[in-house]
Structure 1
Amino acid sequence: MTLEELFAPFGLKAPPLRVLGLTLDSRRVEPGYVFVAVPGVPLPHRKPLDGHDFIPEALAKGAIAVVGERELSLPVPYLRVGDARGALAHLARHFFGEPDRKLALLGITGSKGKSTTASLLHHLLQAGEKPAALLSTVGLRLGKEARPNIGHFTTPEAPEVYGFLREAVERGLEAAVLEVSSHALALKRVEGLSYRIGVFVSFYPDDHLDLHGTAEAYFATKALLVERSHLAVLNTRLPHLKRLLPRPHLLFGPGGEVWGEGLREGEEGLRFTLHTPWGSGEAFLPMLGRYNLDNALAASAAALAYGLSLEKVLQGLATFRGVPGRMEVVQKKPFRVVIDFAHTGKSLEEALKTLRATTRGRLLLVVGAAGERDPRRREDIGRVAARLADKTFFTEEDHRTEDLQAILEALAKAAGEEGGLYEIIPDRKEAIFRALSEAREGDTVLLAGKGHERTLERGTLALPWDEKAVALEGLTALGLGGGEHP
Structure 2
Amino acid sequence: MFLPELAELLGARIVPVRGGAGFAVCDTKLLDAAAFNKTEVTAVTHNSQWVTPGALFVAINGDSVDGHKFAAAAEQAGAVAVLGEGRTAADESNLPYLQVPNARQALADAAVALTGDPSADLRVIGITGTDGKTTTSWLTRYILRATGTSVGMLSTAGYELADGELQQFEGRFTTPEAPQVQQILGEMRDQGATAAVIESSSHALLMERVRGVKWDVAIWTHISPEHLNTHGGMEGYFADKRKLIEAAPFAVLNADDPWCERLRGIAPEETTYGVDSEAEWRALNIAETASGIDFTLQYPGDDREGNNVDAFAQTQAHLPMLGRYNAYNALAAIAAVNRLGVSVPDALRALREFPGVPGRMQTVQEPQSDINVVIDFAHAEKSLEKALQALREVTETELWVVVGAAGGTRDPSKREPMGRIATTIADHVVFTEDDPYFTPVQEIIAQMTAGADAAGNSNYTVIEDRTAAINFAVTNAPAGAVVLLAGKGPESTIERAHGSAPWSEIAAAKTALNLRNSMRG
- Which category of TM-score, normalised to the shorter sequence, fits these structures? over 0.9
Q: Deviations over 1:42-91 (max 9, x none)?
A: 5xxxxx33323333333344433222223246312222222111111011
2:60 matched to 1:35?
no
| 1:416 to partner: Cα distance | 2.2
Q: 2:414 aligns with which of 355, 368, 377?
A: 377
- Choose from 65, 76, 91 the match for 2:81: 65
* Residue aligning to 2:94: 75
Change (3 A) 1:116 1:265: same
Within 5 Å, give how 1:382-401 maps onto structure 2.
Answer: 382-401=419-438
Percent identity, aligned pairs only?
42
Name stretches of at least 5 consecutive residues in structure 2 with no aligned partner: 15-32, 302-312
Whether the aligned pair in 2 keeps the contact of 1:5 and 1:16 (CA below 8 Å) is: no
Q: Contact 2:42 / 2:114 at 8 angstroms: preserved in 1?
A: no
Match of residue 404, structure 1, among 409, 430, 441: 441
1:391-437 Cα deviation digits (max 9, x unpaired): 22211111212232211211122222222322222221221122222
| Contact 1:387–1:420 under 8 Å retained in 2 | no
Query: Residues 15-164 of structure 1: matches in 2 within 5 Å?
Result: 16-40=38-62, 42=63, 48-72=64-88, 74-150=93-169, 151-164=171-184
1:175-324 to 2 correspondences below 5 Å: 175-204=195-224, 206-246=225-265, 247-253=268-274, 254-278=277-301, 279-324=313-358
CA distance in 2, matches of 1:171, 1:64: 30
| CA deviation vs aligned residue, 1:195-219 (integer Å, no higher than 9, x gap) | 1111111121x22211111212211
C-alpha separation in 2, matches of 1:166 and 1:480 = 50
Structure 1 residue 423 corresponds to structure 2 residue 461: yes
Q: Quote the Cα distance in structure 2 between the aligned partners of 1:477 and 1:131.
A: 43
The structural deviation recorded for 1:127 is 1.1
Tell me which amino acid in the other structure corresponds to 1:230.
Answer: P
| Counterpart check, 1:346 vs 2:382 | yes
CA contact (8 A) 2:475 2:515 kept: no
Alpha-carbon distance in structure 2 between the residues aligned to 1:219 and 1:173: 32
2:309 — aligned with what?
A: none
SS in 2 for 1:123: helix
Query: Does the CA contact (< 8 Å) of 1:37 and 1:66 recur in 2?
Result: yes
Please list the CA deviations of residues 323-371 of structure 1 after superposition, one character each: whole Å capped at 9, or x if unmatched: 1100000027311100000000111111111111111222221111111
TM-fit CA distance, 1:477: 3.4
- Counterpart contact for 1:439–1:445, Cα < 8 Å: yes
> Equivalent residue of 1:320, what SS?
coil
Please say which of residues 216-225 and 84-93 is displaced more in the overlay. Answer: 216-225
Call closer, same or farther: CA 1:388–1:243 in 2, change over 3 Å: closer
Given the alignment, which residue of 474, 492, 511 partners 1:454?
492
* Letter of the 2:424 counterpart: R
Q: CA separation in 2, counterparts of 1:466 and 1:191? A: 33
Deviations 1:432-461 (A, max 9, x none): 122222123111111100101122111262
Offset at 1:244?
A: 2.1
Distance 1:423 1:163, change over 3 A: same
Question: In structure 2, how many angstroms separate the alpha carbons of the residues matched to 1:334 and 1:79?
Answer: 64
Q: Hey, what's the Cα distance between the residues in 1 that align with 2:39 and 2:467?
A: 49
After superposition, the Cα gap between the structure-2 partners of 1:409 and 1:60, relative to the gap in structure 1 and judged at 3 Å, is: farther
Given that residues 403 and 486 in structure 2 are in contact (C-alpha distance below 8 angstroms), is that contact kept between their aligned partners in structure 1? yes
SS of alignment partner, residue 165 of structure 2: strand
8 Å contact from structure 2 (residues 141, 151) kept in 1: yes
Question: What is the DSSP-based 3-state SS (H/G/I as helix, E as strand, rest coil) of the residue aligned with 2:249?
Answer: strand
Q: What is the letter of the counterpart of residue 382 of structure 2? A: K
The equivalent of 2:9 in structure 1 is 9
Provide closer, same or farther for how the CA distance between residues 23 and 477 of structure 1 changes in structure 2, counting only shifts above 3 A: farther
Within the alignment, does 1:468 sit opposite 2:506 as a pair?
Answer: yes
The correspondence of residues 155-174 of structure 1 with structure 2, limited to 5 A, is: 155-174=175-194
Amino acid at match of 2:127: I
Pairing partner for 1:434 from 450, 472, 486: 472
Distance 1:251 1:230 in 2: 14
Within 2, Cα distance between the matches of 1:337 and 1:480? Answer: 17
CA distance in 2 between counterparts of 1:60 and 1:185 reads 32
**d(CA) in 2 for partners of 1:50 and 1:474?**
46
Letter in 1 for 2:60: V
Residue 255 of structure 1 and its aligned partner are, at CA, apart by 0.4
Question: Displacement of 1:380 after TM fit?
Answer: 1.2
Whole-Å separation in 2 of the counterparts to 1:231 and 1:200? 11
1:386–1:416: 8 Å Cα contact kept in structure 2? Answer: no
Q: Aligned partners of 1:102, 1:366: CA distance in 2, in Å?
A: 45
Cα pair 2:288 2:393 within 8 Å, conserved: no
Match of 1:361 among 393, 397, 419: 397
Let me know the Cα RMSD of the aligned residues.
Answer: 2.2
- Separation in 2, partners of 1:394, 1:62: 49
Offset of residue 480 of structure 1? 6.2
Deviation at 1:306, TM superposition (A): 1.4
Q: Residues 393 and 240 from structure 1, CA distance in 2 versus in 1: closer, same or farther, beyond 3 angstroms?
A: closer
Distance 2:57 2:65 in 1: 15
Report if aligned partners of 1:385, 1:420 keep a CA contact under 8 Å in 2.
no
The separation in 1 between residues aligned to 2:292 and 2:118, in whole angstroms, is 38
Contact 1:136–1:149, Cα closer than 8 Å, also in 2: no
Q: Is the 8 A contact 1:132 1:175 kept in 2?
A: yes
TM-score (norm 2): 0.87
Task: State whether residues 162 and 192 of structure 2, in contact with CA within 8 Å, keep that contact through their aligned partners in structure 1.
Answer: no
Q: Retained in 2: the 8 A contact 1:102–1:174? A: yes
Q: Which segments of 5 or more consecutive residues in structure 1 lack a partner in the other structure?
A: 43-47
Which moved further from structure 2: 464-473 or 321-330?
464-473
Q: Which amino acid aligns with 2:419?
A: G
How many residues of Structure 1 are paired with residues of Structure 2 in the alignment?
A: 476
Equivalent residue, structure 2, for 1:45: none
> Which deviates the most, 152-161 or 26-35?
26-35
Partners of 1:281 and 1:314 within 8 A in 2:
no
